[in-house]
């Protein structure tokens, strides 16, 4: 066992991690078992090639799921050829999965969707498990109490060959969300608020547990949104202790335990929380009572402001590095220093992604869209996070709410979050998005991105400019 400086209490992260540790390796690294593995088309092709070159089998193909999500077309009637630029990688994952006996859900499959959306939605990710995926937003599954570890292609190959990972052991960190949130403030606003306060590398080499009354009161899909953006805090992963809301969310999911197995599983899951005397390498509390809906103004996620605030004036910033970064970001974003964030005109509104592409996100956006119209000149897209979400949204008529308001209703995929398919923001255009990265050129060369919640993005689509959803809804 690793030496610990405290009296023996363990954090939730340590309890799950220790249970998966097969060996301690030199240099504070552990060999850990991976319960579930999801591979996607843009980071797996060379992992399969590597296995073939070395003549290695896939150790446990039944524990891996292969999904097309990143490069897929989101056209309503798409197939594997709709976006010719995606054909090579889509065919590669299909043939690799077939050759290796791995389940494969391509664009045609009813369970297809963004890897981080389908994990919890289908019960592939379960409390107390370790799930690996070749994508940095794998921490999303922390929202149901799993450790989601985002990895590169070499580590994807490592999981395929061994069903394990060799990882530096992250240090436990806790972020407690205290207070009572105001109306109009969602999980997305809370995590943006936290990143704004803590910075984009606050969690580096740490596993963050999100705690406190505000987290406890969040619905499960909101918890998934919080954990999704752990990488935007620089953390290796993020996790939230499961509770009755989690168990209710998972009950009956296709790959969740059923019958007597379900009762045994829930009994085990009830032990998944941090001990009262657990020690954290870093322990921070945020008072969320004053938080308003958030919008990013810059090119990193900590460059964020409340909707009733102003973008900064770099001349007034004391820290020279922050001043330089702010000035560069405002220049790239083409926003004058010190102006109010509200009222900045937009060209595109994007609702979707692993951050905010779940049914509750679409409901929140539809509540704003209902009976209103997308502003002239604005392109507004709704891209469900999975084909299951799309089906469920259509069953309750959300697709019609959106299309009647002038939004495009598209097929499931990563779409304009990673913009590796045909969903690209044109050079110089300004997009408000429910996704997770506002980096320079992220949504296409010269694209400008503002991050916000689904309701705020819908409000901007209606207004034609960044808007306060609380005013739009009156």
Stretch 325-344 residues interacting with other proteins (CB under 8 A): 325
Does the footprint of other proteins cover residue 268 (CB under 8 A)?
yes
Query: Tokens representing 286?
Result: 């945020």
User: Could you say which of 6, 22, 79, 471 contacts other proteins (CB under 8 A)?
Assistant: 22
Query: Tokens representing 75?
Result: 């056209």
Sign (positive or negative) of CA dihedral 185, 381, 421, 386: positive
Q: List binders of other proteins among 138-167 (CB under 8 A).
A: 150-155, 157-158, 161-164, 166-167
Q: List binders of other proteins among 375-414 (CB under 8 A).
A: none
User: Could you say which of 179, 257, 426, 464 contacts other proteins (CB under 8 A)?
Assistant: 257
User: Could you say which of 256, 292, 364, 393 contacts other proteins (CB under 8 A)?
Assistant: 256
∠ CA(423), CA(412), CA(225), 5° rounding?
A: 95
Does the footprint of other proteins cover residue 194 (CB under 8 A)?
no
Separation between Cα atoms, residue 47 and residue 69, nearest integer Å: 17
Q: List binders of other proteins among 342-361 (CB under 8 A).
A: none
Q: List binders of other proteins among 196-225 (CB under 8 A).
A: 200-201, 204-205
Does the footprint of other proteins cover residue 89 (CB under 8 A)?
yes
Q: List binders of other proteins among 220-249 (CB under 8 A).
A: 231, 234-236
Q: Are 294 and 304 in contact (CB under 8 A)?
A: yes
Q: In what order do the strands lie in the sheet with 130-133?
A: 103-105, 64-67, 36-40, 130-133, 147-150
Does the footprint of other proteins cover residue 429 (CB under 8 A)?
no
Q: How far is the CB of 206 from other proteins (least distance, A)?
A: 9
Stretch that binds other proteins, among 38-46, 271-279, 307-315, 463-471 (CB under 8 A): 38-46
Does the footprint of other proteins cover residue 428 (CB under 8 A)?
no
Return the exposure string of 436-450: e unless at least 16 CB atoms fall within 10 Å of the residue's CB, then b: bbbebebbbeebbbb
User: Could you say which of 106, 119, 123, 142 contacts other proteins (CB under 8 A)?
Assistant: 123
Query: Tokens representing 194?
Result: 């936290």
- Total residues interacting with other proteins, rule: CB under 8 A: 83
Separation between Cα atoms, residue 20 and residue 31, nearest integer Å: 8
Q: How far is the CB of 186 from other proteins (least distance, A)?
A: 23
Return the exposure string of 376-405: e unless at least 16 CB atoms fall within 10 Å of the residue's CB, then b: eebbbbbbbbbbbbbebbeeeebbebbeeb
Does the footprint of other proteins cover residue 472 (CB under 8 A)?
no
User: Could you say which of 7, 8, 26, 336 contacts other proteins (CB under 8 A)?
Assistant: 26
Return the residue matching tokens 């989601």: 148
């Amino acid at each position: 066992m690793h030496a610990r400086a405290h009296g023996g209490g363990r954090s939730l992260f340590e309890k799950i991690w220790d249970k998966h540790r097969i060996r301690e390796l030199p240099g504070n690294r552990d060999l850990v078992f991976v319960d579930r593995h999801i591979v996607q088309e843009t980071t797996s092709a060379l992992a399969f090639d590597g296995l073939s070159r070395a003549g290695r089998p896939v150790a446990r193909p039944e524990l891996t799921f292969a999904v097309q999500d990143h490069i897929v077309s989101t056209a309503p009637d798409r197939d594997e050829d709709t976006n010719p630029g995606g054909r090579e990688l889509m065919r590669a994952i299909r043939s690799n999965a077939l050759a290796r006996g791995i389940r494969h859900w391509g664009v045609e499959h009813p369970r297809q969707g963004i890897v981080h959306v389908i994990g919890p939605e289908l019960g592939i990710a379960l409390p107390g498990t370790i799930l690996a995926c070749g994508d940095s937003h794998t921490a999303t599954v922390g929202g149901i109490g799993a450790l989601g570890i985002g990895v590169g292609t070499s580590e994807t190959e490592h999981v395929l060959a061994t069903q394990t990972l060799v990882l530096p052991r992250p240090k436990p960190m806790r972020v407690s969300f205290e207070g009572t949130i105001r109306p109009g403030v969602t999980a997305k606003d809370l995590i943006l608020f936290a990143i704004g306060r803590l910075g984009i590398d606050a969690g580096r080499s740490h596993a963050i547990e999100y705690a406190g009354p505000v987290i406890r009161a969040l619905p499960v899909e909101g918890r998934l949104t919080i954990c999704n953006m752990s990488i935007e805090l620089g953390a290796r992963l993020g996790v939230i202790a499961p509770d009755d809301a989690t168990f209710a969310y998972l009950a009956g999911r296709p790959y969740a335990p059923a019958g007597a197995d379900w009762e045994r599983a829930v009994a085990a899951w009830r032990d998944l929380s941090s001990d009262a005397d657990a020690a954290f390498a870093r322990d921070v509390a945020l008072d969320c009572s004053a938080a308003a809906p958030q919008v990013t103004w810059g090119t990193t996620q900590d460059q964020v402001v409340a909707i009733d605030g102003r973008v900064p004036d770099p001349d007034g910033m004391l820290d020279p590095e922050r001043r330089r970064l702010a000035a560069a970001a405002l220049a790239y974003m083409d926003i004058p220093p010190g102006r109010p964030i509200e009222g900045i005109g937009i060209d595109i509104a994007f609702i979707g992604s692993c951050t905010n592409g779940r049914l509750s996100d679409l409901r929140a956006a539809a509540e704003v869209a209902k009976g209103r119209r997308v502003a002239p000149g604005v392109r507004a897209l709704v891209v469900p996070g999975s084909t299951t979400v799309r089906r469920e949204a259509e069953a309750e008529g959300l697709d019609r709410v959106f299309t009647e308001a002038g939004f495009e209703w598209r097929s499931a995929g990563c779409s304009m979050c990673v913009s590796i398919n045909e969903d690209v923001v044109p050079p110089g255009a300004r997009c408000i998005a429910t996704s997770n990265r506002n980096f320079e050129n992220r949504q296409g060369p010269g694209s400008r991105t503002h991050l916000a919640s689904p309701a705020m993005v819908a409000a901007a689509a209606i207004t034609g400019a960044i808007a306060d959803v609380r005013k739009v809804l009156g």
